[in-house]
Amino acid sequence: MQRKFREVREVKMRKTPFGANGDGGGGNNAGGAGQAFAARGGRLDTDLNANLDRIRGELAGSPDLVVRKFTLRIAGRLPAAAVYLETVTDKDTVNDFVMRSLMPPYAADAPEAADSPEAAFRYVCDNALAVGHIEMLDDWTSLLLELLTGKTLLLLEGWNQCVCGSTIGGEKRAVSEASTQVVVRGPKDSFSESVATNIALVRRRIRSPKFGFDSLKIGTVTQTTVVMLYIDGIVKDDIRQEVRRRLEKINTDAILESGYIEEFIEDSWYSPFPTVFHTERPDVVAANLLEGRVAIVVDGTPFVLIAPTVLSQFFTAAEDYYQRYDIGTFIRLLRYVAFVISLFGPACYIALTTFHQEMLPTTLLINLSGAREGVPFPAIVEAFLMEISFEILREAGIRMPRAVGQAVSIVGALVLGEAAVQAGIVSPIMVIVVAITAIANFSIPAYNLAITARMLRFLFMLAAGFLGFYGIILGMLMLVAHMNSLRSFGVSFLSPLVPLKYKQLKDAFVRLPHWYADERPDDTAADTSRMPPDQKPRP
């Protein structure tokens, strides 16, 4: 009977909801999770005091540990105790739905058979607790993991099992506007550091029974909850299994942010191009799930990972689909132009002024020569000095206090640029080139791709300084060959260009009307039909 009762309400992958408070349930302990307690595991004791002493010992006298002893008025006034960590627990839920349910004299409602610890335990689980999601635990590994997650444990004298109630809470940041992916028209909410809140924001947009998730615990010390989100029937099963396999393979002591996960699961760690997309917007995650991709939510960070990833995703903003298609297309093409300027702007200036003056009109060449008169450095040194100075200013503006960071970056750029020109260290045209390049870099929606452009810019500047446009063309060929070799969970990074897929080009460089986008990308989606054809409006 004990073994049969122990498996009541066992948590299973994906089918288990996130409980009353939306935590990650008792998902699988991937990547060695639970090993921190495995060495000192074992079954619970029937002695209540012995179990409480061991909990205090395992947690090394944590000051936030609360042990509330009381007496159940069934089974001959049975001693019991509720155990929880008040810093990660919703104390109102504990008081209202755990303690208040057990403290009143409900003996009149208790059956006559509740005269043993086992019968009292079953009665408490089935009739007394008002918590929406509970589990039965009988081993120390699971008990300690659930306690550290923020759940409340109920232990009884004379019984070697405990009830685990879902009471996760604690302080968390409210849903606010996105800080890095701002839109003029569209939803203003963004993810927070709570995995339960993040999943709720996505579920609010995808009200489908096929919306599923797998919960894992990664990190032998941090026990971080990592959740895979996908839509059954749309996502390809091999992609979902590959994402899960890579997550389960992670064996480290700590996962503090989704960037940890990204480096463990990316295909090409040596490439400057990101092969895993990240966002803090729920609408972007929902849109990618509807295209057959998998989202990875990590507890403790507002940035959600999306895989597989193609290059065109980094030039797409959520607002493209909220504005008219012609406006969205124009802005998207503008971003591609800005990326090219950000990548090759200073390099082209170096090549023109150093090797290929004959390509410039005579009047412009005379003006450039006059502007550079008196500058003691060649164009490549001049460009490196200005670019490095601007990168330092940009980093200083980010790291300084918000109240003075923007002022320091603007004043620093103006004062230093003007002073450098007056001193004859750099030419005015170089200041213009660097400023245009920096503005173009800010136009890229994805911050990680913008950083990639900033790093590759220096390599192209070196190539232009030594070989001119020949070096730039050679670097472009190497760059395209490298991008062509990249894969993201089996999907070509340059898809739908390589391999060429005409139907998917309708949402790569341009944004055609919604009624025209009747198919999903076949790289990621098992079901490519988005809507019936011929949805064009005919008033």
pLDDT 10s digits, 109-161: 555 445 677 777 787 777 777 777 888 888 888 888 888 888 889 888 888 88
Average pLDDT of the segment spanning 503-521: 87
| Residue 153 host element (H or E) | strand 152-156
> Tokens 């057990």 identify what position?
102
Asked if residue 303 and residue 206 are part of one domain, the reply reads yes
| 159 shares a domain with 121 | yes
- Between the alpha carbon of residue 374 and those of residues 28, 79, 365, 392, 468, the distances in Å are 68, 90, 16, 26, 23
305 and 343 belong to one structural domain: no
Q: Indicate if 233 and 290 belong to the same structural domain.
A: yes
Q: Would you say 431 and 386 are in contact if contact means Cβ atoms under 8 Å apart? A: yes
Residue 449 reports pLDDT greater than 90 = yes
Is 175 within a domain? no
Look up residue 437 and give its two tokens: 């390049």
Q: Residue 21's CB: how many other CB atoms inside 10 A?
A: 20
Of the listed ranges 10-14, 180-184, 463-467, the one predicted with least confidence: 10-14
pTM listed for this prediction: 0.83
In a domain, 128, yes or no: yes
In the chain, the N- to C-terminal Cα span, in Å, equals: 69
Q: Determine the pLDDT at residue 86.
A: 86
Backbone angles phi, psi at 226, to 5 degrees: -120, 130
Residue 326 belongs to some domain of the structure? no
DSSP characters for 183-225? -SSS------S-HHHHHHHHHTT---TTEEEEEEEE-TTT-EE
Residue 397 near residue 409 (C-beta atoms within 8 A): yes
Domain residues for the domain of 44 are: 34-165
Question: CB of 444 within 8 A of CB of 315?
Answer: yes
Give the pLDDT confidence score for residue 406 in this predicted structure. 65
Among the residue ranges 23-32, 237-246, 455-464, the one predicted with the least confidence is 23-32
What is the per-residue pLDDT for 214? Answer: 92
More confident residue, 114 or 458: 458
Mean pLDDT of 222-241: 93
Q: How confident is the model at residue 418 (pLDDT cuts 50, 70, 90)?
A: confident
Q: State which of 475, 492, 509 marks the end of a domain.
A: 492
CB neighbours of residue 192 within 10 Å:
18
Query: Which residue did the predictor score with more confidence, 20 or 171?
Result: 171
Q: What are the strands, taking DSSP E only, across 252-311?
A: 277-279, 294-298, 304-307
d(CA 172, CA 167): 14
Domain identity same for 261 and 403: no
**Average pLDDT estimate for 32-43:** 54
40 falls within a domain: yes
For residue 418, give the H/E element and its range: helix 402-423
For a pLDDT cut of 70, what percent of the chain falls above it? 87
pLDDT of 67 strictly over 80: yes
pLDDT of residue 71: 81
* 342 and 251 co-located in one domain: no
Q: How crowded is residue 351: how many other Cβ atoms within 10 Å of its Cβ?
A: 26
Instruction: Give the mean model confidence (pLDDT) for residues 273-280.
Output: 94
pLDDT digits (tens, 9 = 90+) for 469-509: 999 999 999 999 999 999 999 999 999 998 888 888 888 88
Domain boundary among 122, 150, 165: 165
How far, CA to CA in Å, does 402 sit from each of 399, 405, 524? 8, 5, 41
Please provide the DSSP assignment of 71-92 as one string.
EESSTTTEEEEEEEETTSB-HH
The mean pLDDT value for 268-293 works out to 94
Residue 177 lies in a domain: no
Mean per-residue pLDDT over the chain, rounded: 83
By residue count, the chain amounts to 539
Interval 68-89: pLDDT, tens: 888 877 766 788 888 989 888 8
The answer, yes or no, to whether the previous bond of 209 is cis (omega within 30 of 0) is no
* Of 276, 278, 259, residue with least CA distance to 267: 276
Overall number of domains in the chain: 3
Query: Residue 32 pLDDT more than 60?
Result: no
* Residue 358 resides in a domain: yes
Whether residue 187 is contained in a domain is answered as no
| Res 199: pLDDT | 93
Among 461, 476, 492, the domain boundary falls at 492
Task: Give the pLDDT confidence score for residue 294 in this predicted structure.
Answer: 96
| Residue 524 resides in a domain | no
Q: Which of 3-12, 395-404, 528-537 has the highest mean pLDDT?
A: 528-537
Of 447 and 420, the one with more pLDDT = 447
139/12: higher pLDDT: 139
How many whole angstroms separate alpha carbon 397 and alpha carbon 133? 47
Together in a domain, 294 and 246: yes
Residues 6+ apart with CB under 8 A from 252: 31, 32, 218, 219, 220, 260, 264
Do 153 and 266 sit in the same domain of this protein?
Answer: no
Average pLDDT of the segment spanning 85-110? 73
Same domain, 292 and 382: no
Give yes or no for residue 52 having a pLDDT over 70.
yes
Is a pLDDT exceeding 60 seen at residue 19?
no
